[in-house]
Amino acid sequence: MKKIKFSEITPENIYLKRRDFIKKLGLSTSSLMIGQNFLNNAYASTNSLEPTEYRYISTYNNYYEFGTRKSDPVEKSQNFKTEPWNIKIDGEVENEVDISALEINNMFKSEERIYRLRCVEGWSMVIPWMGFSLSKLLEKAKPNNKAKFVEFISVYDPIQMPGQKYPILQWPYREGLRIDEAMHPLTTLVTGLYGKKLPNQNGAPLRLIVPWKYGFKSAKAIVNIKLVEKMPTSSWMRSSPREYGFYSNVNPNVDHPRWSQASERVIGSGILSERIPTQMFNGYGDDVANLYSGMDLKKYF
Ligand code: MTE
């Protein structure tokens, strides 16, 4: 029999507070459990979308270009040069785009988007990103009808990035999305955090956030976005295809071979970090489940 750990049970006072809050909003529990509408004010939908403190978001990171310990990115990325920075959008497009991060910031208005980041390692944070829908930038490049997938390529600079001296992953870091996932309004090009400039350790100057997928789909320090015909192989798929699939949608029913995905530890919620159940599509099912209708998500993990 599977033992339930003490930390997996929501303490009663938190549960009751949540129910009270839901009643005040006049909503049913089930309508809240299904997910958030991206246009809603994220604060209003559940009180569990209260942002994690800045000090956790900016010191507990995964960014293997700077090392594999959680503290490596903040410790080793402070002198990383993010200016000047150019990003190229090419491949199956009518207009190749070569644009600087500065121009992007002037051309597209960033807004606050509070999304939960769920890491495949079993922890999560709620992060008030600044950014805009990636689709706006992709539209400038006019993808042609052969563009079925989008590949994201992070910077390669082993002089500035000590982790790239080791073959921990295939460098540069690569990720990919299907074109309809990339064009979805929730898919965000991130330019800032907590109303400020994006810290280097969180992927400055430009990184992606795909809120219904595990954190590793959200590439940091992007220099190239390629529209392609065939499904790209991400760095994680290349390192361990059995463990990391192309889709990597947050799914409590499909475990990673080494870790359960049924619940998650909420970073910053005290010494005995609260564990909460992981939601299908990280809680964004209302907005994105239709992208996968008819697909076997156990097979396409
Ligand atoms: N992007 C690059 N270029 N390199 C990385 O190692 N790690 C990924 C993702 N993007 C990573 C990356 C993983 S595993 C996670 S969980 C998130 O970034 C972490 O984002 P955060 O540190 O801003 O919370």
DSSP notation for 221-232: SEEEEEEESSPP
61 lines ligand 1 (CB under 6 A): yes
Decide: 158 and 164 in contact? Cβ < 8 Å.
Answer: yes
Task: State pLDDT tens for residues 241-272.
Answer: 999 999 999 999 999 999 999 999 999 988 87
Q: For tokens 């992070």, name the residue.
A: 154
Contact between residue 249 and residue 290 where contact means Cβ atoms under 8 Å apart: no
Report the distance separating Cα 22 and Cα 19, nearest Å: 5
Which of 72, 218, 256, when mutated, tests ligand 1's pocket best, judged by the most ligand atoms within 8 Å of its CB?
218
Domain assignment present for 255: yes
Query: Each residue of 144-190: pLDDT tens digit?
Result: 999 999 999 999 999 999 999 999 999 999 999 999 999 999 999 99
**What's the CATH number where 115 sits?**
3.90.420.10
15 falls within a domain? no
Closest CA to 227 of 98, 95, 99, 90: 90
Handedness of CA 98, 162, 192, 134 (dihedral sign): positive
- Banded model confidence at residue 49, pLDDT cuts 50, 70, 90: confident
Q: Which helix (H) or strand (E) covers residue 80, if one does?
A: none
**Is 151 within 8 Å of 175 (Cβ atoms)?**
yes
Specify the amino acid at residue 298: K
How many residues would you count in the chain? 301
Mean of pLDDT values over 206-220: 98
Domain for residue 297, yes or no? no
In a domain, 298, yes or no: no
pTM: 0.86
Task: Count other C-beta atoms under 10 Å from residue 153's C-beta.
Answer: 21
Domain assignment present for 6: no
**Cβ–ligand 1 contact at 221 (below 6 Å):** yes
Mean of the per-residue pLDDT values of the chain: 88
Burial of 245 (0-12, 13-18, 19+ CB in 10 A): middle
Q: Is residue 12 assigned to a domain?
A: no
The number of distinct structural domains making up the chain is 1
Residue 74 CA, chain-centre distance (Å), reads 18
Listed in sequence order, the DSSP H helices in 37-172 are: 42-45, 54-57, 72-76, 101-107, 134-141
Q: Candidates 52, 55, 60, 63: which one to mutate for ligand 1, based on the most atoms within 8 Å of Cβ? A: 63
What is the CB neighbour count within 10 angstroms for residue 262? 16
Cβ–Cβ < 8 Å for 120, 214: yes
Q: Is 133 domain-assigned?
A: yes
Using an 8 Å Cβ cutoff, are 94 and 106 in contact?
no
Please give the distance, rounded to the nearest whole angstrom, from the Cα atom of residue 269 to the centre of ligand 1: 21
95 vs 189: CA distance, rounded Å: 19
Torsion of CA 132, 136, 137, 140, to 10 degrees: -160
Quick one: pLDDT at residue 272?
79
Residues 101-151 have pLDDT tens digits of: 999 999 999 999 999 999 999 999 999 999 999 999 999 999 999 999 999
Residue 93's domain spans which residues? Answer: 20-292
